[in-house]
């Protein structure tokens, strides 16, 4: 595997999940696999879980991780080709990616969308610029449109807690105070359908995700109907995709509470974190028996370890 940027196929997903579960039992199983190799973890945006879990994963494999918070500590990057760089951007992405390509064996990149340029975001422009100009294997730490390490951790978590082969998985939109990217929702839908779950997505009208990611899922605008008999409920906000990057609804009644799960008594509740408590999800759920959020966060280590081992072996 050279690039880890999206769901590829169920067979690869199953292999990555199994390897991650092995690493969860024996974190230092391949502690010398990455000896002498260096991974650059490049962040154009903030992170807690992705930054720390990927560093731990690399260390568990004997790799040296070096974090560069490019948004705060590096030069402002010019992303567009052919521009006269006489404004505030100091270094072109071609030059920066080329240099970093000569320093590392693997690059991993977090690059959020603009939420203003739908075309550029939809083609994952920044991620592909790094792939093109670094020449290295690249792992997405969340791009404009996908968050594949989060989704792998989510699939591992579902695998550990499911009671049937084809669990009912509901992705429900939640309110938020800011315009939020689509990456987690897109990726969760893509992976959950790809892994063979019975997937329903519920959101207010106008919040339809890009159809590239939702094929094979049922779309149900009535949240109560969608949640009935759910085995797993994944809570996430995203801004509108068609009316790109806009907040169309602030209806607080979309927040997930215990009362909403009256017809889904066995449902486990998931969220990628960070979560706005009592805006997206109630305290009672987050602090209760249904919540899998800490399992998901811990599994981020083993998801990253599984992916890195597949890249460097
Ligand atoms: N879930 C997730 O990616 O968390 P961070 O943004 O803190 O990395």
Angstrom distances, CA of residue 26 to CA of 19, 276, 292? 10, 33, 22
- What percentage of the chain has pLDDT greater than the value 90? 100
Cβ 49 under 6 angstroms from ligand 1: yes
**Probe residue for ligand 1, chosen from 53, 151, 274 as the CB with the greatest number of ligand atoms within 8 Å:** 274
Mean pLDDT of 129-158: 98
How far does residue 50's CA lie from ligand 1's centre (Å)?
5
For residue range 226-282, list pLDDT tens digits in order. 999 999 999 999 999 999 999 999 999 999 999 999 999 999 999 999 999 999 999
Please identify, by atom number, the ligand 1 atom nearest to the C-alpha of residue 53.
Answer: 8
- Long-range residue pairs from 90-93, CB within 8 A, at least 24 positions apart, any chain: 93/126, 93/129, 93/130, 93/133
Residues 6+ apart with CB under 8 A from 310: 1, 4, 15, 16, 19
Nearest atom of ligand 1 to the alpha carbon of 297: 1
Residue 275's pLDDT is what?
98
CA-proximal residue: ligand 1, atom 6 (nearest): 47
Compute the average pLDDT of residues 93-105.
Answer: 97
Return the pLDDT at 172. 98
Q: For a ligand 1 pocket test, name from 41, 43, 47, 52 the mutation site with the most ligand atoms within 8 angstroms of its C-beta.
A: 47
What are 174-227's pLDDT values in tens digits?
999 999 999 999 999 999 999 999 999 999 999 999 999 999 999 999 999 999
Spatial separation of the C-alpha atoms in residues 281 and 283, rounded to whole Å: 7
What residue ranges define each of the domains in the chain, with the CATH number in brackets? Answer: 10-146+300-312 (3.40.50.1370), 150-297 (3.40.50.1370)
Q: Is 146 annotated as a binding residue?
A: no
Q: Tell me, using a 6 A CB cutoff, whether residue 50 lines ligand 1.
A: yes
pLDDT class for 7, splitting at 50, 70, 90?
Answer: very high
Counting ligand 1 atoms within 8 A of each CB, the residue from 44, 46, 48 with the most, and so the one to mutate, is: 48
CA–centroid distance, residue 238 to ligand 1 (Å): 15
Kindly write down the DSSP assignment for every residue of the chain, as one continuous string: --EESS---HHHHHHHHHHHHHHHH-TTTTTTTTTT-EEEEEESS--SHHHHHHHHHHHHTT-EEEEEEHHHHSPPEE-STT----SS--EEHHHHHHHHHHH-SEEEEE----SS-HHHHHTTHHHHHHHHHH-S-EEESS-SS--HHHHHHHHHHHHHH-SSSS-EEEEEE---SS---SHHHHHHHHHHHHTT-EEEEE--TT-PPPHHHHTTSEE-S-HHHHHTT-SEEEEE----TTTTT------GGGSB-GGGGTT-TT-EEE--S---BTTTB-HHHHTSTTB-HHHHHHHHHHHHHHHHHHHH-
- From CA 206, how far away is CA 69, in angstroms rounded? 35
pLDDT score recorded for residue 44: 97
Please report the sign of the dihedral spanned by the C-alpha atoms of residue 210, residue 212, residue 214, residue 220: positive
Residues 282-302: tens digit of each pLDDT? 999 999 999 999 999 999 999
128 alpha carbon to ligand 1 midpoint, in Å?
21
- Cα 48 to averaged position of ligand 1 atoms, centre (Å): 6
Residue 272 labelled as part of a binding site: yes
**Is the shortest distance between the CB of 150 and ligand 1 below 6 Å?**
yes
| pLDDT of res. 119 | 97
Distance CA 183, CA 115 (A): 11
User: Which pLDDT band holds residue 155 (cuts at 50, 70, 90)?
Assistant: very high
**Percentage of residues of the chain with pLDDT beyond 70:** 100
Q: Is 161 annotated as a binding residue?
A: no
pLDDT for res 62: 98
Q: Whose CA is nearest to atom 3 of ligand 1?
A: 50
What mean pLDDT comes out for the span 21-30? Answer: 98
150 annotated ligand binder = yes
Distance CA 18, CA 310 (A): 12
Is the complex ipTM higher than 0.95? yes
What is the pLDDT, as a whole number, of residue 258?
96
* Predicted local distance difference test score (pLDDT) of residue 146: 98
pLDDT given for residue 78 in this prediction? 95
Q: What's the confidence (pLDDT) of residue 54?
A: 98
Q: Which two tokens stand for residue 273?
A: 């974190």
Ligand 1, atom 7, lies closest to the CA of: 48
Mean pLDDT computed over 71-98 = 95
The annotation status of 273 as a binding-site residue, yes or no, is: yes
Going from the Cα of 49 to the center of ligand 1, the distance in angstroms, rounded, reads 5
């Amino acid at each position: 595997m050279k690039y880890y940027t999206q769901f590829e196929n169920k067979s690869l997903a199953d292999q990555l999940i199994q390897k991650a579960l092995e690493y969860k039992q024996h974190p230092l199983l391949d502690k010398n696999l990455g000896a002498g190799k260096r991974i650059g973890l490049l962040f154009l945006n903030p992170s807690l879980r992705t930054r720390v879990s990927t560093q731990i994963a690399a260390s568990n494999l004997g790799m040296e991780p070096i974090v560069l918070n490019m948004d705060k500590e590096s030069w402002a990057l010019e992303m567009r080709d052919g521009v006269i760089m006489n404004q505030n951007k100091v270094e072109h992405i071609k030059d920066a990616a080329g240099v970093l390509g000569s320093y590392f064996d693997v690059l991993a990149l977090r690059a959020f969308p603009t939420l203003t340029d739908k075309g550029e975001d939809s083609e994952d422009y920044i991620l592909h610029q790094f792939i093109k100009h670094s020449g290295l294997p690249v792992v997405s730490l969340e791009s404009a449109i996908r968050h594949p390490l989060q989704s792998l951790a989510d699939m591992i978590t579902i695998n550990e807690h499911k009671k049937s082969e084809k669990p009912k998985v509901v992705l429900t939109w939640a309110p938020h105070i800011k315009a939020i990217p689509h990456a987690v929702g897109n990726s969760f839908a893509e992976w959950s359908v790809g892994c063979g779950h019975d997937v329903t997505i519920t959101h207010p009208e106008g919040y339809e995700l890009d159809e590239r990611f939702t094929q094979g899922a049922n779309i149900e605008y009535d949240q109560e109907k969608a949640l009935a008999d759910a085995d797993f409920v994944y809570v996430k906000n995203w801004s509108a995709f068609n009316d790109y990057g806009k907040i169309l609804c602030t209806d607080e009644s979309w927040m997930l509470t215990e009362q909403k799960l009256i017809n889904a008594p066995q449902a486990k509740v998931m969220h990628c974190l960070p979560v706005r408590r009592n805006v997206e999800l109630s305290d009672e759920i987050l602090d209760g028996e249904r919540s899998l959020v800490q399992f998901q966060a811990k599994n981020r280590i083993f998801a990253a370890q599984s992916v890195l081992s597949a890249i460097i072996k």
